[in-house]
């Protein structure tokens, strides 16, 4: 088993932290192997910024990702940079308010930044996105993800971060439910 | 407060793992100057050392940083610094002083693209030869490599142990990718971590000779304040440590510094072997390129090609006996490194014409991909 995840956005959104939460949840709490490489440099403030997380049940040799199993985009520039390497098997996840799609592939969309603004904390968009990512893909277990969120943010902000995580997670469950309903009405088959 | 050994499972960067390895090895002094991509080592040490009663100093530059760890070592503590290419160049003079005065210490070089200030935020493996003879004069040194966060932890401990055992500076060569990459690092119980401390003199203080070698060629080392009369100089010196400007004294001192490493090659040199038994083509690599090589080897094996991999954990002294022995069985060697052929030259020298030697390498800034290596394997197969 190997899952390759790229999360991309612009510097300041907490893209790296989002990746670290997923990687750490897999490595420490799910007892898997995980490697994380990140873009590093002056561009990490305001410019395009990305993190590549590989999760596996065996040793990971090469930590860079050619074709992601999951691509999470939190900025147009990030999406534009990676859209050409994805395939129809890639699970594409976007912040729908920030990205205009021009690929033929389906995607899972969440207005993470707008939801964060509604909660009064725009900077939580990354945690909402992690919740959504885990809800849609099950890349790591729910418990592990929550534990890691709690450990990875300042102590005073644990509750609000967990709330943000749950907001994204529930949005994912609703999304999956409506996908199933749509599938039933399209085909008449209960899957 | 925290313990020196942070037993448990952690998800940390290679740089942080290096700092944790130093603390677990018993390092209590860090003198350094921040530089990308090694800054996180200094940063982590600056947070942790005060909590365990150690000392962290940000020096004015890398020349002073290197001097500070020599002073700390003679004061009796395990000391280290970390840097990258430009700082490593500045440290060269005092690395030579460490060699000449046989001062145990650890220097970590998280390599980035060069020459000069080069590519600050991007990795390379171009300082391999500089680690060997970057300071002037003829000497032998120990240099290690690490290819994962876990190895950054364990190789830093090994670096300290070898520095203490052989009274020599030991260089750990990492690269930007390994330094900044996050992975699981398992830190064992303190009681399970083997640490070595320098041999200390015993007996008469009168007439003590601080550079008179013991059985393995290494002289017991007193600390300043122990009560021994010691003189420490970078000039050619005799066993008392006093400058002696003669051909004989130079020959005696340099030969001993060279032989204490050369005669203990079996103890110092460590490699890891992967599928070498039936290998027709052998990949040789270290650091981040070792991971590329292992991925390429697995891809080649899946295609039915008999490819093996030799990972270098010790860079200097070079594992020439191991490579020479493999050269009698294998058809070709491919060295994989982010430079235009530094360790490749050592492989060629060791193989001595018994097999083909090839290089997959390029300038700094990006890693070598498994596909690049696989392509070369296919060409040769």
CATH number at residue A168: 3.40.920.10
Q: Looking at residue A130, what is its pLDDT?
A: 98
Q: Looking at residue A48, what is its pLDDT?
A: 81
> Alpha carbon of A131 to those of A145, A161, A190, B175: distances in Å?
8, 10, 27, 33
Residue A191 lies in a domain: no
Q: Looking at residue B340, what is its pLDDT?
A: 98
Nearest residue to B68 (alpha-carbon basis) of B105, B21, B20: B105
Residues of B in contact with A61 (CB under 8 A): 291-292, 294-295, 298, 370
Q: Is the peptide bond before B115 cis (omega within 30 degrees of 0)?
A: yes
Residue A99 lies in a domain: yes
Sign of CA dihedral B171, B174, B175, B179: negative
Q: Per-residue pLDDT for A190 more than 90?
A: no
Residues sharing a CB contact under 8 Å with residue B172, sequence separation 6 or more, in sequence order? B18, B106, B107, B108, B109, B143, B144, B145, B146, B152, B155, B156, B159
Per-residue pLDDT of chain B (381 residues; tens, 9 = 90+): 799 999 999 999 999 999 999 999 999 999 999 999 999 999 999 999 999 999 999 999 999 999 999 999 999 999 999 999 999 999 999 999 999 999 999 999 999 999 999 999 999 999 999 999 999 999 999 999 999 999 999 999 999 999 999 999 999 999 999 999 999 999 999 999 999 999 999 888 999 999 999 888 899 999 999 999 999 999 999 999 999 999 999 999 999 999 999 999 999 999 999 999 999 999 999 999 999 999 999 999 999 999 999 999 999 999 999 999 999 999 999 999 999 999 999 999 999 999 999 999 999 999 999 999 999 999 999
Residue A150 lies in a domain: yes
For residues B142 and B163, what is the distance between their CA atoms, to the nearest angstrom? 8
C-alpha atoms less than 13 angstroms from C-alpha of B2 in its C-beta half-sphere: 15
Q: Looking at residue B37, what is its pLDDT?
A: 97
Residues of B in contact with A23 (CB under 8 A): 11, 182
Residue A65 lies in a domain: yes
Q: Per-residue pLDDT for A92 more than 90?
A: yes
Residues of A in contact with B181 (CB under 8 A): 35-37, 63
Burial of A105 (0-12, 13-18, 19+ CB in 10 A): middle
B92 CB neighbour count, 10 Å cutoff: 18
Architecture of B273-380 per CATH? 3-Layer(aba) Sandwich (3.40)
**Bridging pattern class, strands B307-312 and B314-316:** unpaired
Q: Where are the domains of chain B?
A: 8-192, 273-380
**Interchain proximity A42–B11, CB inside 8 Å:** no
Of the candidates A23, A35, A62, which has its C-beta nearest B292's C-beta?
A: A62
Sign of CA dihedral A142, A147, A150, A153: negative
Number of domains making up chain A: 1
Both tokens assigned to B270: 């460590």
For residues B141 and A44, what is the distance between their CA atoms, to the nearest angstrom? 38
Sheet of strand B8-13, all strands in order from the earlier edge strand to the far edge: A108-110, A91-95, A70-73, A2-10, A48-56, A33-38, B182-187, B8-13
Residue of chain B nearest A64, judged by CA positions: B369
* d(CA B7, nearest CA chain A) in Å: 14
**Interchain proximity B295–A62, CB inside 8 Å:** yes
Q: What is the mean pLDDT of residues A65-87?
A: 94
Q: Looking at residue B15, what is its pLDDT?
A: 98
Q: Tell me whether B121 touches chain A (CB under 8 Å).
A: yes
Residue-number span of the structural domain to which A94 is assigned: 2-186
Q: Tell me whether B186 touches chain A (CB under 8 Å).
A: no
For residues B365 and B363, what is the distance between their CA atoms, to the nearest angstrom? 7
Residues of A in contact with B11 (CB under 8 A): 20, 23-24, 27-28, 34
Contact A47, A75 (CB under 8 A): no
Q: Looking at residue B216, what is its pLDDT?
A: 84
Residue A119 lies in a domain: yes
Q: Looking at residue A188, what is its pLDDT?
A: 65
For residues B95 and B27, what is the distance between their CA atoms, to the nearest angstrom? 18
Residue A167 lies in a domain: yes
Nearest residue to B103 (alpha-carbon basis) of B161, B168, B160: B168
Residues of B in contact with A20 (CB under 8 A): 11, 182
B8, B11, B275: best to mutate for the A interface, most A CBs within 10 A: B11
Q: Looking at residue A181, what is its pLDDT?
A: 85
Of the candidates A24, A28, A37, which has its C-beta nearest B181's C-beta?
A: A37
**Interchain proximity B183–A28, CB inside 8 Å:** no
First to last CA, chain B: 57
**Interchain proximity A27–B177, CB inside 8 Å:** no
Contact B257, B243 (CB under 8 A): no
Note the pLDDT tens digit of each residue in B259-296.
Answer: 999 999 999 999 999 999 999 999 999 999 999 999 99
Q: Tell me whether A41 touches chain B (CB under 8 Å).
A: yes
Residues of B in contact with A63 (CB under 8 A): 177, 181, 291
Domain covering B8-192 in this structure, CATH number: 3.40.50.970
Q: Looking at residue A173, what is its pLDDT?
A: 97
Q: Per-residue pLDDT for A45 more than 70?
A: no
Residue A27 lies in a domain: yes
| A41: confidence class by pLDDT, cuts 50, 70, 90 | low
Sign of CA dihedral A152, A156, A158, A161: negative
A43, A47, A63: best to mutate for the B interface, most B CBs within 10 A: A63
Q: Tell me whether B370 touches chain A (CB under 8 Å).
A: yes
For residues A170 and B34, what is the distance between their CA atoms, to the nearest angstrom? 44
Both tokens assigned to B111: 């390599």
Q: What is the average pLDDT score of chain A? A: 92
Helices (H) and strands (E) in chain A, counts: 6, 6
Residue A45 lies in a domain: yes
DSSP state of B223: P
Contact A110, A168 (CB under 8 A): yes
Both tokens assigned to A63: 């930590």
Of the candidates B182, B369, B370, which has its C-beta nearest A36's C-beta?
A: B182
Q: What is the dihedral of CA B40, B43, B45, B48, to 10 degrees?
A: -120
* d(CA B371, nearest CA chain A) in Å: 11
Sign of CA dihedral B128, B131, B134, B136: negative
Tell me the sheet residues that pair with B308: B282
Q: Looking at residue A104, what is its pLDDT?
A: 75
Query: Mapping DSSP to helix (H, G, I), strand (E, B) and coil, where does residue B310 land?
Result: strand
Of the candidates B121, B180, B370, which has its C-beta nearest A62's C-beta?
A: B370
Q: Per-residue pLDDT for A43 more than 70?
A: no
Contact B217, B264 (CB under 8 A): yes
**Interchain proximity A63–B176, CB inside 8 Å:** no
Q: Tell me whether A65 touches chain B (CB under 8 Å).
A: no
Q: Looking at residue B183, what is its pLDDT?
A: 98
């Amino acid at each position: 088993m190997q899952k390759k995840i790229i999360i991309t956005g612009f510097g300041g959104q907490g893209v790296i932290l989002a990746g670290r939460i997923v990687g750490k949840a897999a490595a420490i709490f799910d007892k898997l192997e995980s490697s994380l490489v990140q873009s590093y440099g002056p561009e990490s403030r305001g410019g395009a910024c990305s993190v590549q997380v590989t999760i596996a049940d065996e040793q990971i040799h090469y930590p860079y990702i050619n074709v992601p199993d999951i691509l999470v985009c939190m900025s147009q520039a990030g999406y534009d940079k990676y859209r050409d390497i994805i395939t129809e098997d890639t699970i594409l996840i976007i912040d729908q308010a920030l990205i205009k799609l021009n690929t033929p592939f389906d995607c899972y969309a969440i207005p993470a930044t707008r939801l964060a603004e509604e909660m009064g904390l725009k900077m939580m968009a990354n945690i909402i996105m992690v919740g959504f990512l885990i809800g849609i893909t099950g890349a790591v277990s729910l418990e592990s993800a929550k534990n890691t969120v709690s450990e990875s943010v300042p102590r005073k902000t644990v509750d609000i971060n967990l709330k943000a995580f749950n907001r994204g997670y529930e949005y994912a469950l609703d999304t999956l439910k409506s996908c199933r309903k749509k599938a039933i009405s399209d085909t008449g088959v209960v899957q | 407060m925290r313990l020196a050994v942070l037993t448990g499972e952690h998800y940390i960067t290679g740089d942080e793992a290096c700092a944790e390895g130093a603390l677990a090895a018993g390092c209590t002094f860090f003198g350094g100057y921040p530089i990308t991509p090694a800054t996180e080592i200094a940063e982590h040490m600056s947070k942790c050392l005060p909590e365990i009663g150690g000392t962290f100093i940000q020096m004015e530059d890398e020349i002073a940083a290197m001097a500070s760890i020599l002073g700390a070592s003679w004061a009796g503590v395990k000391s280290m610094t970390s840097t990258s290419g430009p700082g490593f160049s500045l440290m060269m003079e005092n690395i030579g002083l460490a060699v000449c005065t046989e001062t145990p210490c650890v220097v970590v070089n998280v390599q980035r693209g060069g020459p000069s200030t080069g590519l600050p935020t991007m990795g390379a493996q171009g300082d391999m030869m500089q680690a060997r003879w970057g300071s002037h004069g003829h000497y032998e040194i120990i240099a290690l490599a690490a290819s994962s966060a876990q190895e950054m932890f364990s190789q830093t401990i090994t670096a300290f142990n070898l520095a203490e055992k052989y009274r020599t500076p030991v260089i750990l060569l990492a690269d930007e990718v390994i330094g900044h990459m996050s992975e699981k690092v398992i830190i064992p119980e303190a009681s399970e971590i083997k640490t070595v401390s320098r041999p200390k003199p015993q007996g008469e203080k009168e007439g003590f000779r601080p550079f008179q070698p013991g059985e393995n060629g290494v002289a017991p080392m007193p600390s300043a304040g122990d009560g021994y009369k010691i003189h420490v100089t970078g000039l050619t010196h005799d066993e008392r440590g006093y400058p002696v400007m003669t051909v004989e004294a130079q020959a005696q001192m340099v030969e001993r510094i060279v032989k204490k490493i050369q005669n203990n090659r079996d103890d110092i040199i460590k490699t890891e072997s992967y599928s070498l038994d039936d290998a027709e083509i052998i990949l040789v690599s270290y650091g981040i390129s070792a991971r590329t090589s292992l991925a390429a080897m697995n891809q080649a094996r899946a295609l039915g090609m008999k490819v093996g991999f030799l990972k270098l954990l010790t860079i200097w002294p070079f594992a020439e006996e191991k490579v020479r022995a493999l050269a009698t069985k294998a058809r070709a060697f491919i060295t994989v490194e982010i430079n235009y052929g530094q360790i490749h030259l050592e492989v060629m020298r060791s193989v001595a014409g018994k097999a083909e030697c090839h290089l997959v390498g390029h300038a700094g800034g990006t890693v070598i991909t498994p596909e690049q290596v696989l392509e070369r394997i296919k060409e040769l197969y």
